[in-house]
A and B are shown apart, each in its own frame.
Chain A
Amino acid sequence: MQLRYVFTELRSGLRRNLSMHVAVILTLFVSLTLAGCGMLLQRQADKTAEALGNELQILVNLCVVDDPAPDGNCASGAATDPQRKEIERALEDSPEVESFEYQTQAEGFEEAQDIPQYEPYFDGPDPIITEEDWPAQYWITLKDPKEAEGVKSAVTGLEGVSAIKDQRDDLEPVFGIIDALKYGSWIGSGLLLLASLLLVANTIRLAAMARRREIGIMRLVGASTLYIAFPFLLESLVTAAIGVALTAGALAAFTKFAIMDGLADVIEFVPWIGWDEYVESLIGLVPPGIVILGPALTLIPTLLLTRKYIKV
């Protein structure tokens, strides 16, 4: 195959359909950027869940005297030693539990004194909360922060258990926001990727129309389908490469200015994504990174359509 011929054809093809190629590049750029943001937000959600999930524990509050728990586990009053033993046995038998610690009412109450928000409840001659009201607790560390349902159901309903508190529930709103942004990006990106596919299809159809005389001659003199399709494939590859390069720049700017120099400085308790995740969004395999997604989006329709329009 003569490279000079192929590159001449490529240059004239790009020039002939310039406005169409620019439209493909811009649509590809916006859709890939949204897809890339979706991937980065996914990684952010995973990273946040992983980091915080390891530190967050599950608390089992035991019944106190006159416990207000509505489910009847505390009908016999404060938790007794046999009830505690039953609870500990359930925790030891649970495959999800890494370890657990028992905290007495006195230890818990003393620790709570140091938390400034609770101060008003302990002050004065007749405080709202006394040591008797403060429940003894089991602090449970999980093997896998995502696997908590088994241990929760194992202790729920046991006599002496007043309430179960999952600290991760406090982070639900944060994950909710990240999820909403992530799904929003994916939906937007999906629609725009569809628009890119249709634009590529139209571009190929127009290019094939513009070159129908040449294609007709090529078919008659015995050029192979691949040879005829090659300039079309190269055109698609060039538009994809420009779209991917613009996307890589936009995602780098997003990672640097929005995340690393922006959110990471304001909210410090959450571990933020950085350049590793950025590189992964470009060249990752699952989900496919931008460098794979971009060319695939232009080359696959080009291959399918050139087979249709330039069939030998």
Chain B
Amino acid sequence: MIRFEKVTKNYPGPGKPALDQVTVDIDKGEFVYLVGQSGSGKSTALRLVLRELRPTTGRVYVAGKEINRMAGWKVPRLRRQVGTVFQDFRLLPNKNVAENVAFALQVIGKSRREINRVVPETLEVVGLKDKAQRMPDELSGGEQQRVAIARAFVNRPMIIIADEPTGNLDPQTSVGIMNLLEDINQRGTTVVMATHDHGLVDQFRKRVVELEHGRVVRDEAAGSYGFQHDEAP
């Protein structure tokens, strides 16, 4: 579903590359944690998947297509297959819950009938059906993140990219968000989640890809957060 083939990404200016010869394969339906310290290259990797950046060398494949050679006008179509969730939710404050979720469909030209059908379904999946008319500032952090996940999932993407989705949430709420992402993953959506949350990674055992200074230092099925580093002599 996602393949990085010897991907190196240099930003302008001196310094080490953000990603250095990274090769990773993520299959359809997998749930993968991307872990590592700040500056290890996690966000760069996610932005490459969204074609917000292009690699300096190497190739990035998403859903079987080499996206670094993709024409600019095809990029929106790629992004319709990739839902994105951020640490800071990024909801529109002047729209209510249902409108925030519907917005993702409106702007890609879906019909009103389809929007009216899919939005309540999606709000039910994230457990916010009874709060459809609430404004974002009337919701807790966890509920706001659920709206953001609903917006990412409403178009039923093949992949969900989550960049520190629990970074602003307390541990109990984070578990709820993880349960939701796991539920979405079980419906067949590939989930790639960048995180610093040791507890969650250890509690919800999934594949862990660890980055350090732009290099993959660990790729472990059902791994824990920093297992090798903590345990290694």
Partner of B155, one of A219, A221, A227: A221
Chain A residues bordering chain B, tally (CB within 8 A): 19
Residue contact B109 to A1, C-beta cutoff 8 Å:
yes
A222 interface contact, C-beta 8 A: yes
B109: chain A residues within 8 A (beta carbon): 1-2, 227
Q: Is A260 an interface residue (CB 8 A)?
A: no
- What CA separation (Å) do A109 and B90 show in the bound complex? 96
- Nearest to A2 among chain B residues (CB) is B106
Question: Does A269 make an interface contact (CB < 8 A)?
Answer: no
A293-312 CB mask vs B (1 if < 8 Å, else 0) is 00000000000000000001
Please report the C-alpha to C-alpha distance between residue A225 and residue B80 in the assembled complex, in whole angstroms. Answer: 14
**Alpha-carbon distance between A220 and B76 when the two chains are bound, in angstroms:** 8
Contact assessment for B108 and A222 in the assembled complex, using a CB-CB cutoff below 8 Å: yes
Which chain B residues border A223 with CB–CB below 8 Å? 76, 107-108
Q: A217 an interface residue at 8 Å Cβ cutoff? A: yes
- Cα A219 to Cα B77 in complex, Å, equals 11
Residue B69 at the chain A interface, CB threshold 8 Å: no
| CB < 8 Å neighbour of B72 from A1, A214, A312 | A312
For chain B, residues 82 to 97, give those with C-beta under 8 angstroms from any C-beta of chain A. 83-84, 90, 92
Interface digits, B66-77 against A, CB 8 Å rule (1 contact, 0 not)?
Answer: 000000110111
Expressed in whole angstroms, the Cα–Cα distance for A213 and B155 within the complex equals 20
Q: Provided the pairs A217-B103, A227-B109 are in contact, do residues A222 and B90 lie with their beta carbons within 8 angstroms?
A: no
Shortest A70–chain B CB gap in Å is: 75
Q: Known: A213-B90, A227-B107, A312-B72. Is A221-B112 also a contact (CB below 8 A)?
A: no
Chain A hits for B84, CB < 8 A: 220-221
Contacts of A312 in B (CB 8 A): 72, 75-76
| B128 CB, min distance to chain A CBs, angstroms | 18
Complexed CA–CA distance, A227 and B80 (Å): 14
Interface size for B (C-beta < 8 A) is: 22
Residue A238, interface by CB 8 Å: no
Closest residue of chain A to B72 (Cβ to Cβ) is: A312
* Chain A interface helix/strand/loop/mixed: helix
Min distance, Cβ B40 to any Cβ of chain A, angstroms = 23
Say yes or no for B126: interface residue by CB 8 A criterion. no
Asked, given contacts A312-B72, A312-B75, whether A221 binds B151 with beta carbons under 8 Å apart, the answer is: yes
Pick from B73, B75, B104: contact of A221, CB below 8 A: B104
Q: Which residues of A contact B107 (CB under 8 A)?
A: 5, 217-218, 221, 223, 227-228
Of the residues A2, A220, A222, A228, contact of B112 by C-beta under 8 Å: A2
- The CA-CA distance from A221 to B80 in the complex, in Å, is 6
- Give chain B residues whose Cβ lies under 8 Å from the Cβ of A218: 107
- Which residues of B are found within 8 Å of A4, using beta-carbon distances? 112
Judge whether A217 and B92 touch: CB under 8 Å.
yes
CB of B79 within 8 Å of the partner chain = yes
Interface centre among B50, B107, B155 (most CB of A within 10 A): B107
Determine the distance from Cα of A46 to Cα of B66 in the docked complex, in whole angstroms: 63
Give the top 4 A-B pairs by smallest Cβ distance, nearest first. A222-B80, A222-B79, A223-B107, A221-B104
Query: Can you pick out 15 interface pairs between chain A and chain B where the beta carbons lie within 8 Å of each other?
Result: A5-B106, A217-B107, A217-B151, A218-B107, A220-B50, A221-B79, A221-B84, A221-B107, A221-B151, A222-B76, A222-B108, A223-B76, A223-B107, A223-B108, A227-B108
